[in-house]
Amino acid sequence: MLKDTPKHQGKRNQLIDILAQKGITDTKVLEAMKHIPRHLFMDSTFEDHAYQDKAFPIAAGQTISQPFTVAFQTQLLEVKPTDKILEIGTGSGYQCALLVALGAKVFSIERQLELFKKTNLFLPKIGLKPKKLIFGDGYKGLPDEAPFDSIIVTAGAPFIPKALLGQLKIGGRLVIPVGDDPQIMTLLVRTDTKKFEKTTFGEFRFVPMLQNKN
């Protein structure tokens, strides 16, 4: 069932070359992506599309993000091997698996029960196990495990949730796509208890980060 063949690996290498051509420069991110079998995160119906640089439908009306977007957000996180990272929007688990492959301790929150259950079973099977997947509301973050070295939001946020800013370490990074459609990729670095330095990186498209629907 969970097969990763030389043919998959070949297509994956081609995809990684394309990401580099599109401007991803962090070699650790590119190298780690070479080892993540993206086709296994998708419905087998779409397997042939797994190594195109495109987002694709997963369960519960959600999507697995475009590989360029995953690489771009991960690059902005500047992951170090011991980092404690919170992800909002587990979805297929692809982004989560990449962070695990980079050596981080990952906590990831998903509000769709179906996806939470599916991904919770799947990730250990491919040997990329996060610290913990949580079924819950990402707007609240994860106060019990805070503070984090970084927080990544993989759904379009209508605004920057205050709780997430408060759960960053000093020097910590929040990468979040903000706005309706499209979203503006935004990086906030916590430079002091109450100070955040903000940088923006252009337009991206995500499924919405939903509120009050648990």
Pick from 112, 120, 183, 186 the residue near ligand SAH by CB under 6 A.
Answer: 112
Cα separation, 132 vs 109, in Å, equals 9
Q: Which is nearer to ligand SAH, 160 or 210 (CB)?
A: 210
How many chain residues bind ligand SAH (CB under 6 A)?
23
Pick from 56, 68, 94, 107 the residue near ligand SAH by CB under 6 A.
Answer: 94
Binding flag, residue 150, ligand SAH (CB under 6 A)? no
Strand partners, 140: none
Do residues 104 and 83 lie in contact, with contact meaning Cβ atoms separated by under 8 Å?
A: yes
Site for ligand SAH, residues 153 to 192, rule: CB under 6 A: 154-155
Binding flag, residue 66, ligand SAH (CB under 6 A)? no
Binding flag, residue 63, ligand SAH (CB under 6 A)? yes
For 79-156, strand residue ranges (E) read 84-88, 105-110, 132-135, 148-153
Cα separation, 130 vs 120, in Å, equals 9
Binding flag, residue 92, ligand SAH (CB under 6 A)? yes
Distances (CA, A) of 11 to 4, 7, 37, 55, 188: 11, 6, 10, 16, 34
Please give the positions annotated as active site: 65
Q: Give contact residues for ligand SAH (rule: CB under 6 A).
A: 62-65, 88-89, 91-92, 94-95, 109-112, 115, 137-139, 154-155, 207, 209-210
